[in-house]
Amino acid sequence: MSNFTTECYQNEYLPLGVSEVNAIVTVTSDGAPGQAEQPEAAEIVIIDTSGSMGTPRRKINAARQATKVAIDCIRDGVAFGVIAGTDVARTVYPTHSTLAIAAPKTRSEAKRALDRLDASGGTAIGSWLTLAGALFATVPGRTCHAILLTDGENQHETDEHLDGVLAEVEGRFQCDCRGVGTDWMVSELRRIAAALLGSVDIIAEPEAMADDFHALMQAAMGKATRNVSLRLWTPQGATVAFVRQVAPAIEELTGRGVQVNPLTADYPTATWGRESRDYHVCINVPPREVGDEMLAARVSLVEGEEPRAQALIKAIWTDDRRLSTHINREVAHYTGQAELADCIQQGLEARKEGDLASATFKLGRAVQLATESGNEGTMKLLQAVVQVDDAATGTVRLKHEITPLDEMSLDTRSTATVRVGSAAT
């Protein structure tokens, strides 16, 4: 059974009359595999086989190869399958409507089935997810995870249909989404990944797909704990302003809480391997008097119903301004990282709409924030889109020619954050 530990970073001192309490909670799992009770996994790879995947041919070839690499990572005993998606979904392997159990024989059968895969047809991602959900339902009790690869927009079904499917399959499996090339829509895949607690990323060149699938499947096999929720208790009269994961990437959780009782809600965090994540919790509590202390939130990690670790977020009111005006370093850092992601997404949106003044301002602010926090990955992506004159003040010029790849890479990876202390000192 994995061990969870928590650390809480906050300035618990508040000036009189202030009700907002902010804290960063770091949760670390040692990823120790469970003993006998370790949950078995189920894995599905969903490959887009629409007509566009065949032009150029190397796209479908690379997808085939990457899926084979992923299948080789699946350990014996794991239920698995492969779905080919066009305007309809069909199972490539196994051929009956359930999943196969991984073993040398089934793995080689699956790889042979992939060789017969060809590209023709449209794109209806909702139908792919529906089939994945139905296949996962045949292996109850397993930790279900899928990898979804597409190269285009969801053209053959409506947004409403996709939303309906997401509501249907949400919580039944986790899904990492990958877009290859530049003809897919970042917002669409982000919506799917957010609902299904997975990641979203761009694969620029088809040949990079195999490495990525390898890493995704390795990580999935390393998940030792599933069904973990962040449980948040707040006192009477308090309201949760927001709960968001802020590292390794920003994920808004606020709307995803499931009420356990009037004072407690659970926020899903899916599966955990050996990893560490940071959460920013912001609570509004009824203000009290000088010297009063109260517990503003109790944050615990629960596996099923079993509490595994907890952190306490406190509030103490003081009239000593030296205590109350200090902003905690971690809170300030992640507030900045969230603003960075917002600035990039708003800046790119403004640029698309032709509002170049807003785009310049927003992306300039993003450059400033990325520099301050030492977020080199994001800074590098920003430099492909803007000419930086002065990073410290956020003075930039928009580049005239921006490749779709640079723009989509920046958009997709805008939510990646760095931890405190990354800035060069």
Partner 1 sequence: MTVTCPGGHESRATDYCDQCGAPIPAGPPAAGATEVLPALDEIDTSPAARREPCPACGAPRSGDDRYCEGCGFDFHGPPPAAGAWEAVVTADRAQFDRLAVAGMSFPAGYAQRKFVLAEGENRIGRSRGRPDELAPEIDLAMEPADPGVSRLHAALERRSDGVVVLRDLGSTNGTMVNDDPVPIAPETPLPLTDGDRVRVGAWTTITLRKR
The site for partner 1 (CB under 8 A) is made up of 233-238, 263, 285-286, 289-296, 298, 312
Minimum gap (Å) between residue 282 Cβ and partner 1: 16
Minimum gap (Å) between residue 17 Cβ and partner 1: 12
For residue 272, the cross-strand partners are 225
For residue 306, the cross-strand partners are 303
Residue number, 241 or 423, with CB nearest to partner 1:
241
Contact of 308 with 300, CB cutoff 8 Å: yes
CA distance 22 to 18: 12
Residue number, 241 or 294, with CB nearest to partner 1:
294
CA distance 317 to 197: 37
Residue number, 164 or 235, with CB nearest to partner 1:
235
CA distance 296 to 294: 6
Contact of 7 with 104, CB cutoff 8 Å: no
Residue number, 114 or 238, with CB nearest to partner 1:
238
Q: From the centroid of its chain, how far is CA 236? A: 31
Minimum gap (Å) between residue 281 Cβ and partner 1: 14
Residue number, 308 or 351, with CB nearest to partner 1:
308
Residue number, 221 or 295, with CB nearest to partner 1:
295
- DSSP class of residue 50 equals S
Please say whether the dihedral angle defined by the alpha carbons of residues 369, 375, 376 and 382, taken in this order, is positive or negative. Answer: negative
Smallest Cα–Cα separation from 60: which of 119, 121, 125, 116? 119
Q: What residue ranges in 181-254 does DSSP mark as E strands?
A: 200-203, 228-233, 239-247, 251-252
Minimum gap (Å) between residue 257 Cβ and partner 1: 18
Contact of 278 with 419, CB cutoff 8 Å: yes
Residue number, 235 or 248, with CB nearest to partner 1:
235
Minimum gap (Å) between residue 261 Cβ and partner 1: 10
Contacts of the segment 354-361: beta carbons below 8 A, 24+ positions apart: 356/398, 359/398, 360/386, 360/396, 360/397, 360/398
| Cis ω before 262 (30° cut-off from 0) | no
Contact of 47 with 121, CB cutoff 8 Å: no
Please say whether the dihedral angle defined by the alpha carbons of residues 70, 33, 312 and 373, taken in this order, is positive or negative. Answer: negative
For residue 174, the cross-strand partners are 145
Minimum gap (Å) between residue 242 Cβ and partner 1: 18
Minimum gap (Å) between residue 335 Cβ and partner 1: 24
Residue number, 289 or 306, with CB nearest to partner 1:
289
Residue number, 240 or 295, with CB nearest to partner 1:
295
CA distance 295 to 315: 6
